[in-house]
C-alpha cells in the first residue's frame, strides 16, 4: 500500500491505475479509522479495482471552539488497518497542500445544510462540500463511499454531486455499531467509561422512536418528544437536536407519510455525538 502526501503524487498514481482500466473507489475520511471506515473500504474493494482512502482532518469543516486541535490522529495505525482490508493507497495531504496561500473558493449546498448539524455547526457543510469536491477532482473516482452515520453529510454530497454534474456514484453504507449499539465514531475516544455508558442513550432512544413509528405513530412531534424525554432521563446527556425530516430530501413534515430520518446530536460531557435511524415501513 502506498501513502502519498501531495496532490501531484496521488494524481500520478490514479493516472497509472486508470491507464490499466481500473475502476477507482474513494473513501474520504478524517482518519483515526474505526470499523465503520473499514467496512466502507471492504465494500469499496468489492466494487473497485483500486481503492484510495483519503485521511485529512479538514480544518474548514470545524467551527471556532470545536475540536480541530484535539481531533485524534494516528497515521501509522490507520495505515496498518487500511492495508489489512486491502486499500491500495492512502492520500494524506497537509492543510497547506489542500488550502495553499490565497485559497478562496467554496462550495455551498443551500437548504439541506441549514437544518440539523448545519444549524448547530454553521459553515460545517461548506467545509465538507469544499474538501469533498477537491478530493473528487484530485482522485476522479468512479465511486465514493460514505457512512449513513453522517446521514446529512451523505445527502448533501449526493445533492452537490448531482447539481454540479460530477460524474461518479456516491454510495452510502449502513452505520456500523459496537456490540452494545453505540455508533462507531472517531470521537468515541473522548468518552470516559461513565460517559461511554451514558452515550448508549442515543441508540436506545432511536430504537424507542422507531418502535413507536412501527406501532403506527406518524406524528413527528410525538416521536421526537418520546425520544427527547428518554435522553433527558440520562443525566450526562444534553440534547443539541432531535429532529425528523423526510428522507432523502430532508423536508420538514407535519405527518410521516414516506421514509423519514430520525436524527440527533447529543452532547455527553464535552463530546458531541450524532446518530440517526431511518423510519420506514
Determine which residue in the list 21, 105, 254, 281 makes contact with a second copy, applying CB under 8 A. 105
Shortest distance (Å) from residue 217 CB to a second copy: 29
Q: Which of 48, 119, 58 is nearest to 87 (CA)?
A: 48
Phi and psi angles of residue 244, each rounded to the nearest 5 degrees, phi first: -125, 125
- Under rule CB under 8 A, residue 84 binds a second copy: no
- Under rule CB under 8 A, residue 89 binds a second copy: no
Shortest distance (Å) from residue 63 CB to a second copy: 18
Q: Are strands 24-29 and 143-147 parallel, antiparallel or unpaired?
A: parallel
- Under rule CB under 8 A, residue 163 binds a second copy: yes
Calpha distance 144→247 (Å, rounded): 20
Contacts of 225 (CB under 8 A, 6+ apart): none
Q: Do the beta carbons of residue 198 and residue 217 sit within 8 Å? A: no
Shortest distance (Å) from residue 166 CB to a second copy: 6
- Under rule CB under 8 A, residue 111 binds a second copy: yes
- Under rule CB under 8 A, residue 210 binds a second copy: no
Determine which residue in the list 64, 65, 96, 102 makes contact with a second copy, applying CB under 8 A. 102
Q: Do the beta carbons of residue 276 and residue 263 sit within 8 Å? A: yes
- Under rule CB under 8 A, residue 138 binds a second copy: yes
Q: Which of 91, 128, 88 is nearest to 106 (CA)?
A: 128
Calpha distance 194→185 (Å, rounded): 17
- Under rule CB under 8 A, residue 133 binds a second copy: yes
Calpha distance 264→202 (Å, rounded): 8
Site string for a second copy, 141-160 (x = CB under 8 A): ------------------xx
Calpha distance 152→264 (Å, rounded): 11
Of 237 and 260, which has the nearer Cβ to a second copy?
260
Buried b (16+ CB within 10 A) or exposed e, 146-171: bbbbbbbbbbbbbbbbeeeebebebb
- Under rule CB under 8 A, residue 166 binds a second copy: yes
- Under rule CB under 8 A, residue 249 binds a second copy: yes
Of 164 and 194, which has the nearer Cβ to a second copy?
164
Of 32 and 136, which has the nearer Cβ to a second copy?
136
Answer yes or no: 37 catalytic. Answer: yes
Calpha distance 166→140 (Å, rounded): 9
- Under rule CB under 8 A, residue 20 binds a second copy: no
Shortest distance (Å) from residue 125 CB to a second copy: 11
- Under rule CB under 8 A, residue 109 binds a second copy: yes
131, containing H or E segment: helix 124-139
Which residue out of 22, 34, 37, 247 is catalytically annotated? 37
Which active-site residues does the annotation give? 37
Q: What residues line the site for a second copy (CB under 8 A)?
A: 7, 11, 102-112, 129-130, 133-134, 137-138, 140, 159-160, 163-167, 249
Amino acid at each position: 500500500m502506498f501513502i502519498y502526501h501531495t496532490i501531484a503524487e496521488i494524481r500520478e498514481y490514479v493516472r497509472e491505475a486508470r491507464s490499466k482500466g481500473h475502476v477507482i473507489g474513494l473513501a474520504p475520511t478524517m482518519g483515526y479509522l474505526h470499523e465503520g471506515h473499514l467496512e466502507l473500504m471492504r465494500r469499496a474493494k468489492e466494487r473497485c479495482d483500486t481503492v484510495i482512502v483519503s485521511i485529512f482532518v479538514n480544518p474548514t469543516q470545524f467551527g471556532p471552539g470545536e475540536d480541530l486541535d484535539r481531533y485524534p490522529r494516528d497515521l501509522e495505525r490507520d495505515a496498518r488497518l487500511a492495508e489489512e482490508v486491502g486499500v491500495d493507497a492512502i492520500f494524506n495531504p497537509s492543510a497547506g497542500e489542500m488550502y495553499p496561500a490565497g485559497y478562496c473558493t467554496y462550495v455551498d449546498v443551500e437548504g439541506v445544510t441549514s437544518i440539523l448539524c448545519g444549524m448547530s455547526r454553521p459553515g460545517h457543510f461548506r467545509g465538507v462540500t469544499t474538501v469533498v469536491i477537491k478530493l473528487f477532482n484530485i482522485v476522479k473516482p468512479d465511486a465514493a463511499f460514505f457512512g449513513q452515520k453522517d446521514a446529512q453529510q451523505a445527502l448533501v454530497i449526493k445533492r452537490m454531486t448531482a447539481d454540479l454534474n460530477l460524474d461518479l456514484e456516491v454510495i452510502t453504507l449502513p452505520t456500523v455499531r459496537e456490540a452494545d449499539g453505540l455508533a462507531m465514531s472517531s470521537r468515541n475516544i473522548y468518552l470516559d467509561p461513565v460517559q461511554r455508558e451514558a452515550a448508549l442513550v442515543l441508540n436506545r432512544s432511536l430504537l424507542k422512536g422507531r418502535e413507536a413509528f412501527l406501532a403506527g405513530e406518524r406524528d413527528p412531534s410525538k416521536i421526537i418528544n418520546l425520544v427527547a424525554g428518554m435522553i433527558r432521563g440520562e443525566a450526562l446527556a444534553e440534547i443539541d437536536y432531535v429532529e425528523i425530516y423526510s428522507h432523502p430530501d430532508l423536508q420538514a413534515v407535519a405527518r410521516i407519510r414516506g421514509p423519514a430520518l430520525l436524527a440527533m446530536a447529543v452532547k455527553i460531557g464535552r463530546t458531541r455525538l450524532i446518530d440517526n435511524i431511518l423510519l420506514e415501513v
